[in-house]
Amino acid sequence: MERDFMFLEVEEIIRKKLEMNESITPTGNPIPKLTPDTVIRDLNMDSLDLTELIIDIEEKYETEIDEGDIQDVVTISDLLDKAEEHLGQVSASDSVQNLKNKHNNKE
C-alpha cells in the first residue's frame, strides 16, 4: 500500500512538471496515462528534466538520491525503487506516514 501511495505522490510531481513545461508536453497535447511501467524518456523528459524531477522527489521525501543511482532509472518504478532505497536509510515508514498525514491534511 505504501508503494501505491508513493506512486501517486510521484505521479503528481511528474504531472505538474509536464503541465508546466510546454517543451515536454506542447499545448493541446494530453498528458499520457502514467503507470509504474511508464518509461521516463517516453515522456520527452531529457536528463535535465530527470535531474529536476529527482530534486523534487528528494524535497518531497526529505532524502537524497545519489547522482550515480539515477543512471539506472528507466521507468517510474525504477525511480520509486531509488526513492525507497534512500528512504529506507532514513526510516521509510516514518517518512511515508508523515507524507500520508500531510496529504490527508491538504484534503
Q: pLDDT tens digits for 60-78?
A: 888 888 877 788 889 999 9
Q: Which residues does the chain have with pLDDT short of 70?
A: 1, 21-29, 88-100, 102-103, 106-107
Q: Residue 68: what pLDDT?
A: 79
Assigned C-alpha cell, 82: 531509488
Q: Inter-axis angle of helices 47-61 and 76-88, to 10 degrees?
A: 40
Q: Residue 104: what pLDDT?
A: 74
- At residue 82's C-alpha, the angle toward residues 48 and 66, to 5°, is 60
